């Protein structure tokens, strides 16, 4: 009789132990499935004395892969001149737009013709943006200057977004090497060697003013500094302010 009771107790304990193991295995499987969906590694430890499962999550590189991809976006450089506060070469992310380039160049001036610029236009590498002034801030053939700028500076209808900005790709337009165009230097018009047609591409310079610049230069010799162009009849401080970022003397 005692042996039967003892054997029954052993069998009951074995059944309980097997059931406990089965429950543990099922729990591990369920928990592992739920956690692994988030890309985490499961570390499980078992205390034999207490029968307690300790489950930890360990993050994997997969969780940070998206952040890394966002931080490694390709950068491009764009040359921004004209009606911006800090003209020059700016660095933006590939796929950004004209508005981003203008902000990187210190933002637009009060004279910038933003109403006639497609600020959402996507930019590419090696591009020059020339932000033009508002029509009402330009005089003496400015409208004609904008029209002739396209034909004389290499800006095609395809590259020109609107009348408020000129987009010049690679070495097109005024952005040429000195050997290719002696009338330009680093994207600027050399007022000592430029033709009347080239001078007319400057903001506020029409045929009449361009002719006066050439005549003054032939009579008085080369300009020693860009400010000397204000000695030309019809060019005052306001008109000089519009063109100073686009001219040079050497």
pLDDT in tens, 212-230: 999 999 999 999 999 999 9
Torsion of CA 208, 212, 213, 217, to 10 degrees: 160
For residue 159, the model assigns a pLDDT of 42
Q: Is residue 82 domain-resident? A: yes
Residues 37 and 78 grouped into a single domain: no
Tokens of 78: 């764009």
For residue 1, the model assigns a pLDDT of 53
Closest CA to 250 of 179, 170, 186: 186
Q: Confirm if 92 and 108 have CB atoms less than 8 A apart.
A: no
Residues 76 and 169 grouped into a single domain: yes
Q: What are phi and psi of 94, to 5 degrees?
A: -60, 130
CA 174 – CA 154 distance, rounded (Å): 7
Tokens of 124: 């590419």
Instruction: Domain count for the chain, please give it.
Output: 2
pLDDT lower than 50: segments of the chain: 42, 46-53, 55, 57, 63, 137-162, 171-185
Give the three-state DSSP class for 129: strand
Which own/partner pairs from 18-23 qualify as long-range (CB within 8 Å, at least 24 positions apart)?
20/51
Residues 97 and 52 grouped into a single domain: no
DSSP string, 131-187: EPBPGGG--SSHHHHHHHHHHHTT--TTT--BTTEEEEETT-TT---TTT-TTEETT
Residues 55 and 76 grouped into a single domain: no
What's the N-to-C CA distance of the chain in angstroms?
Answer: 118
Q: Is residue 41 domain-resident? A: yes
CA 198 – CA 145 distance, rounded (Å): 10
Torsion of CA 41, 47, 48, 52, to 10 degrees: -90
Q: Is residue 85 domain-resident? A: yes
We report the CATH number of the domain holding residue 92 as: 1.10.150.280
Q: Is residue 100 domain-resident? A: yes
Residues 93 and 13 grouped into a single domain: no
Q: Is residue 65 domain-resident? A: no
Q: Confirm if 175 and 128 have CB atoms less than 8 A apart.
A: yes
Residues 51 and 77 grouped into a single domain: no
Tokens of 160: 């020109």
Q: Is residue 67 domain-resident? A: no
Q: Is residue 211 domain-resident? A: yes
Residues 101 and 150 grouped into a single domain: yes
Residues 41 and 110 grouped into a single domain: no
Residues 48 and 104 grouped into a single domain: no
For residue 124, the model assigns a pLDDT of 82
Q: Is residue 177 domain-resident? A: yes
Tokens of 189: 């018009």
Query: Residue 232 belongs to what domain range?
Result: 72-248
Task: Kindly give, in sequence order, each residue whose CB lies less than 8 Å from that of residue 10, ignoring residues fewer than 6 positions away.
Answer: none
């Amino acid at each position: 009789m005692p042996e039967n009771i003892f054997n029954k107790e052993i069998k009951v304990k074995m059944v309980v132990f097997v059931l406990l193991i089965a429950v543990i295995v099922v729990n591990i499987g369920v928990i592992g499935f739920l956690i692994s969906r988030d890309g985490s590694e499961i570390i499980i430890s078992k205390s034999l004395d207490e029968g307690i499962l300790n489950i930890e999550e360990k993050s994997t590189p997969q969780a940070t892969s998206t952040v890394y991809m966002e931080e490694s976006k390709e950068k491009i450089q764009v040359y921004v001149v004209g009606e911006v506060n800090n003209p020059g070469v700016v660095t933006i992310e590939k796929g950004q737009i004209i508005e981003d380039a203008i902000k990187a160049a210190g933002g637009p001036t009060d004279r910038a013709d933003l109403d006639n610029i497609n600020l959402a236009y996507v930019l590419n590498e090696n591009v020059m943006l020339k932000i033009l002034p508002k029509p009402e801030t330009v005089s003496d053939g400015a409208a004609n200057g904008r029209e002739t700028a396209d034909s004389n500076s290499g800006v095609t209808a395809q590259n020109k977004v609107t009348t408020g900005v000129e987009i010049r790709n690679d070495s097109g337009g005024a952005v040429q090497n000195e050997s290719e165009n002696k009338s330009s230097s680093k994207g600027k018009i050399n007022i000592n060697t430029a033709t009347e047609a080239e001078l007319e591409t400057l903001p506020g310079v029409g045929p009449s003013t361009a002719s006066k610049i050439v005549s003054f230069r032939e009579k008085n010799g080369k300009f020693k500094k860009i400010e000397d162009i204000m000695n030309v009849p019809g060019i005052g401080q306001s008109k000089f302010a519009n063109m100073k970022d686009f001219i040079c003397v050497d």
